Structures are given as C-alpha cells and as structure tokens.
Structure 1
Amino acid sequence: MRSVLPSPLLRGAFVLDAVVSAAAGVLQLAPGARMVAWLGLPAPLLTETGVFLLAYAGALLLLARSRTLWAPLVQAVVLGNAGWALGCVLALLLGWLAPTALGTAWLLLQAVAVLAFAAAEGLGLARSAPAPAAVGLARS
C-alpha cells in the first residue's frame, strides 16, 4: 500500500470539489418538482444523485483533512470523476435522458467540472510526497 502526504494542490482540489459537489447536491434536492421541470431530468435521478453528492462532499472534506492518504483511494476519486463526466455525456449522446436545454447545459457543466477536478486531483497526487513508513513497519 502506497501512502502519500497530500500536496497543497491535492487538498485544495478536494475542498473545491467538495464545495461544488455539495452545492450541486443542494440544488438538485432543494426545489424538487421545480428542478424536474427546469432540467427535464427524472426526479429519482436528481434526488439520488443529490444525496450522493452531499455524501461525496463530506468524504472529500475528510480526505482533504487527512495527514496521509492511500494513493489508490485518490486514484479512485480521480477515476470516479472521469466516470461521472463520461456518464453525463453518454446520457446525452445515447438518448438515455431527454433533458431541456437547461438540463443539457447542467449535465455538460457537470462533465466539464468533474474533468477539471479529476485533472487537478491527479496532478495534486503526482505532486504529493511519499509518506514515511510507519514505525515498526519499515524494512530492515
């Protein structure tokens, strides 16, 4: 298991991702039926992804505060963001959803934002220093 000391870029990217994710989650949950009408997206999709985004934001804040991070966990966050972006784009291209123009813009904005977060978090991971081996676990 490879642990790292998170770089300032990685911490900042996690915090910004958390803030934007929480805001998106609140937006998707707050107005209820009004958001469904504005975006043309199914209510269950907005509710479930809204709840997920709030939980995800909390997890990101915990990661941002961690003294050390397990590198594969950070990589999973990066891949998750890339997957979210891909899902947004595929939902539009393959006709899985029939959003309004505002809904299409919402999905494309999410795709662009999470790709930017994935890039910043990946770069932040690359700039993170390896964590020192724990006492008693170092190789002789």
Structure 2
Amino acid sequence: MHMIVPSAFLRRILMVNALSCAGLGVLLFGLGGLLEPLLGIPAWLSQPLGLSLVCFAGMVGLVEVQERVPPALVWAIIAVNAVWAVDCVVALAAGWITPTPLGVAFVLAQAVWVAVAAEVLALGLTRTPAQPA
C-alpha cells in the first residue's frame, strides 16, 4: 500500500475543508430552526445535514493531522465534497427543496465552495508524491 506524507499545501486545504464543514455543520445543526424562515430549508433537513457535516469535519481533521495517509482516503474526501456540491444543485433543480431566494444563494454558495475545495484538494494530492509503506 502506498502512503503519502501530505504537503503543507495539502494539509492547509484539508484544514480549511474541515473548519468550513464544521462551521457550516454547527450553523445548520444549532440554528436550523431559526434559519428555516430565512432560507426556506426545513430544519428536519438542515439539522441532520449539519450533524453529518460536523462528523465529516472531524474525519477530515483526523486525516489532516496524520503523518502519512493513503491517497485513497484523500480521494474519498474529495469524492464526498464533489457529491455534496452536485447534491446541492440537484436538490434545487429537482425541486426537492423550495428555498427562499436567500436560501437558493446559500445552497449555491455551498456548492461552489465545496466544488472548489474538491478541486484544490485534488490538485494538492496529485502534486504530493506517493511513498512505499
């Protein structure tokens, strides 16, 4: 199995990914009910999503602090980010949620942020050389 020693760049991107997921997760989980009238996103949806983001952030943070990690684990983080971005757009396009205009902007901003994070993580990973275990 090949491992990588994450570069400083890759570590920073993982940390930013973890912190942004944690921040959004705490916001959605803790304030989902208060945000519902503003965003039009039901608390029954935003609160569990917030909790899942906090858990994901913890996992990303754990990867970030490891001395060596399997590249597949970082690819998995990239994939989760990409799926989140696509799901945000699909949820709006398919009418799964009917947010307010502010809610649409909120969902689309997440999609763009997470898509950029996935791309930058992929860039950082592909520029990090693999090493034998």
TM range (shorter): over 0.9
| Post-superposition offset of 1:112 | 0.5
Larger C-alpha radius of gyration, 1 or 2? 1
TM superposition outliers: structure 1 runs of 4+ over 6 Å: none
CA separation in 2, counterparts of 1:68 and 1:57?
Answer: 19
Aligned match of 1:48: 48
CA separation in 1, counterparts of 2:113 and 2:63?
Answer: 19
Percent of counterpart pairs with the same letter? 38
Aligned match of 2:124: 124
CA separation in 2, counterparts of 1:128 and 1:6?
Answer: 7
RMSD: 1.1
Q: How does 1:100-119 map to 2 (within 5 A)?
A: 100-119=100-119
Unaligned runs of 5+ residues in structure 2 are none
CA separation in 2, counterparts of 1:32 and 1:21?
Answer: 15
| Post-superposition offset of 1:35 | 0.9
Q: What amino acid maps onto 1:132 in structure 2? A: P
Unaligned runs of 5+ residues in structure 1 are 134-140
CA separation in 2, counterparts of 1:33 and 1:16?
Answer: 26
Q: What is the number of equivalent residue pairs in this alignment?
A: 133
Structure with the higher fraction of residues in helix conformation: 2
| Post-superposition offset of 1:122 | 0.5
- Contact residue 9 and residue 120 of structure 1 kept, 8 A: no
